[in-house]
Amino acid sequence: MLLLNATYEPLTALSARRAIVLLICDKADTVHHDPEGSVVHSAGAELTVPSVIRLRTYVRVPYRARVPMTRAALMHRDRYRCGYCGGKAETIDHVVPRSRGGEHSWENCVASCAPCNHRKADKLLSELGWTLRTPLVSPKGPHWRLLSTTAELDPLWLQYLGEGAA
């Protein structure tokens, strides 16, 4: 389930059980039902399992500057394309190799196809004459925090996650 703030800003993914508790306690409203939604009975009420719910009151989210980098989030940023050749990426490459002091960070990691990753090995781009197709930036915003912590995204959620997520 996707939980939205009262302002429709995405907050977090949560379990169906927690989502239903919020609905039953009148803390949240359903925005979208799960298309294959099952119906649950609780305290004499009948509820269709939601896919997206929205809080009735606004909650302030503590500001966190850095979005944690995970494999899934990095692949999303790079749209599953190799940063060197544009082919289908299935690995993550450190632009400045770790053996040469490269960091495991948004700015030094790029999605890469296996052949490019293999050819690059522990060399620098300048030694190969390679360039990156796009600059490597750290994504910002609440939808990225959600992306980096959620393995599976419901397509229904994408409209609430902003352009960066689509």
The residues that touch Zn ion, with contacts defined as CB under 5 A, are 82, 84-85, 87, 113, 116
**Smallest separation, CB 85 to Zn ion (Å):** 3
Q: Which helix (H) or strand (E) holds 112?
A: strand 109-112
**Smallest separation, CB 127 to Zn ion (Å):** 17
Cβ-based nearer residue to Zn ion, 49 or 130: 130
Contact 77/125 with Cβ under 8 angstroms?
Answer: no
Cβ-based nearer residue to Zn ion, 52 or 111: 111
Contact 19/70 with Cβ under 8 angstroms?
Answer: no
Cβ-based nearer residue to Zn ion, 6 or 121: 121
**Smallest separation, CB 115 to Zn ion (Å):** 6
Cβ-based nearer residue to Zn ion, 76 or 81: 81
**Smallest separation, CB 130 to Zn ion (Å):** 10
CA distances from 33 to 30, 66, 75, 83, 149 (A): 7, 32, 28, 37, 22
**Smallest separation, CB 128 to Zn ion (Å):** 12
Contact 117/91 with Cβ under 8 angstroms?
Answer: yes
Pairing of strands 50-55, 2-4: parallel
Q: What CA dihedral angle connects 107, 109, 111 and 115, to 10 degrees?
A: 130
Cβ-based nearer residue to Zn ion, 23 or 113: 113
Residue 77 structure tokens? 């940023």
